Amino acid sequence: MNSRCGINHTILSFVGIFCFLLATCAQAEQVTLTSSNFSAWRGDTGQWEIVGDVFTDPADEKLLSSKPGTGTVVNGPKGRTSNLFSKAEFGDVNAHIEFMVSKGSNSGVYFMGRYEIQVYDSYGVEKGEYPGIECGGIYERWDESGDPKGYEGRSPRVNASRPPGQWQTFDVIFRAPRFDEAGRKVANARFEKVVHNGIAVHEDVELTGPTRAGAYNDEKPAGPLMLQGDHGPVAYRNIRIEPAGPNPFFAMDTATKDASHQTAKEQVRMARELGYAGIGCTAGKGLAEMAEELDKNGLRLFTVYLGINIDSDQQKYGPELKETIEVLKGRNAMLWLFVLSKKHKPSSTAGDDRAEEILREVAEMAAEADVRVALYPHTGFWVERVEDAVRVAKRVNCRNVGVTFNLCHWLKVDDEKNMEALIKLAMPHLFVVTINGADSGGKDWKTLIQTLDRGTFDMRRFLKTLYDSGYTGPIGFQGYGIGGDSQENLKRTMDAWLELNDAKR
């Protein structure tokens, strides 16, 4: 379990039609959990108190003192009491949480009572004792028989901690695990984004199960918010939770470039103003600049497109692969990997052994930088179909290797009637999806790649099938070859995206 490239911790399968049970508060309203009383919290609240404000105890910096009032909860005079559970149960949420710890103190916010974002006095700490213990970390899972026992902890990519005795903030987009109608898990829980004091410290991190010290060892579609109360003085205020919006939507750089938008700065500014979550781009000399511009603007570099060659007489990959991994380090981005061969025809299994060997090598390098590899099916390439990508990913069998579902390339080589079956096949390995407007039955690229508001293909049905299958990951707009004004194309596409996701899934 501690190897970077080995058997998956969770093998996901899909049987039957997906049935996601809505949580108690899965409504289009914000829920506030901190107020003038404990009505939003269940059962015995222990020594938790409602106060007006909290500050470091003048006589002991390891304790918190308070002033009378309302709006803030603090875990008693000694900071050692029971955990606090919300009455409401939540699934996908967008949460804002403010907290304060005393010097050396420790707490945690458990989404669904199972998945912890660590609350800790990490001010000035260069590195914690183990991954995930730092404030803003995703706490480790635990296996008493393992070596090491703790695993899958994720440290924040930046230490954004303020000194003890100061208020701090978390802004979190969390996606609940998905289950089929038989109760089998088809998608892991995922922290889509964790922002600590205004700085993004995690993006798109899956959890194969509950983290250590969660209230429950099982997984369900919904659960309470839990505040840990027995590890030291902590206070919380302004806890606001609302249903999370649609999957993160990004633009591929095939759609962001035109005569007026050549530089990374121009493309990123346009994407931000139009509401895109980030950009997926091609490897090359401009990659570092694009990554820096996205960082500056609070957007994400989702994917970087480059390839490998499985022919034994060809270079398996160029120096840009290692250079790309170095740029992606700490950004939790994906290598978008296409696979070439002249020796083997598209979809031929004859190249599987060589592909497995190379991809394991790439996966190991990528894992060292916390980078995932999403195989990119491309018409005419060796990995041409989604089925090819799934077959190869299963052979490689590394946790950080998955697949892409490219709508335009799928329509080019397959029949629309296979859509549901193919999505189900890909789902256990699906890292990213690309979409665009397209004409049903069309095989010409001009009809297969259009702005999202155009084309006869039933995009609403496609997205519903995708969501019903449990997919909660990023979706990108493929704009290759559309031409014209990129700002107009991106605006039309964003308007269509918002309309498609306006109705409840």
Average pLDDT, the chain: 90
CB-based contacts of 20: which residues, under 8 Å, 6+ apart? 91, 178, 179, 221, 468, 470, 505
Rounded to whole angstroms, what are the CA distances from 431 to 257, 375, 399, 422? 25, 9, 11, 14
How would residue 2 be classed by pLDDT, with cut points 50, 70 and 90?
Answer: very low
Rounded to whole angstroms, what are the CA distances from 303 to 197, 279, 280, 328? 26, 7, 4, 9
How would residue 182 be classed by pLDDT, with cut points 50, 70 and 90?
Answer: confident
**Model confidence at 489: pLDDT above 90:** yes
* 10 within domain boundaries: no
Do 56 and 89 lie in a common domain?
yes
The pLDDT value given to residue 147: 87
* 3 within domain boundaries: no
What is the Cα Rg of the chain in Å?
A: 23
Which of residues 243, 260, 292 is at a domain's end?
243
Do 196 and 155 lie in a common domain?
yes
* 441 within domain boundaries: yes
Least confidently predicted of 11-25, 60-74, 362-376: 11-25
CATH code of residue 309: 3.20.20.150
The pLDDT value given to residue 323: 94
* Cβ count near 271 (within 10 Å): 27
Do 155 and 233 lie in a common domain?
yes
* 444 within domain boundaries: yes
Measured CA to CA, the distance from residue 176 to residue 174 in angstroms comes to 7
Do 212 and 265 lie in a common domain?
no
**Model confidence at 325: pLDDT above 70:** yes
Do 256 and 223 lie in a common domain?
no
- Mean pLDDT confidence for 1-30: 40
Element (H, E) at 353: helix 352-368
* 84 within domain boundaries: yes
* 100 within domain boundaries: yes
The DSSP symbol for 172 reads E
Characterize the bridge pairing of strands 278-282 and 249-252: parallel
In three-state form (DSSP H/G/I as H, E/B as E, the rest C), the secondary structure along 277-296 is CEEEEECCCCHHHHHHHHHH
The pLDDT value given to residue 13: 32
Do 161 and 236 lie in a common domain?
yes
Measured CA to CA, the distance from residue 393 to residue 167 in angstroms comes to 45
Do 334 and 395 lie in a common domain?
yes
Do 155 and 222 lie in a common domain?
yes
For the stretch 453-479, what's the b/e string if a residue is b when 16 or more beta carbons lie within 10 angstroms of its beta carbon? bbbebebeebbebbbbbbbbbbbbbbb
CB-based contacts of 408: which residues, under 8 Å, 6+ apart? 434, 436, 438, 445, 448, 449, 478, 480
* 408 within domain boundaries: yes
Do 257 and 235 lie in a common domain?
no
CB-based contacts of 400: which residues, under 8 Å, 6+ apart? 4, 5, 363, 366, 367, 371, 372, 373
Q: What is the extent of the structural domain holding 259? A: 250-500
270-308: pLDDT as tens digits:
999 999 999 999 998 899 999 999 999 989 999 999 999
Do 140 and 278 lie in a common domain?
no
User: pTM, whole model, 2 decimals?
Assistant: 0.82
Do 335 and 319 lie in a common domain?
yes
Q: Calculate what percentage of the chain has a pLDDT beyond 90.
A: 79
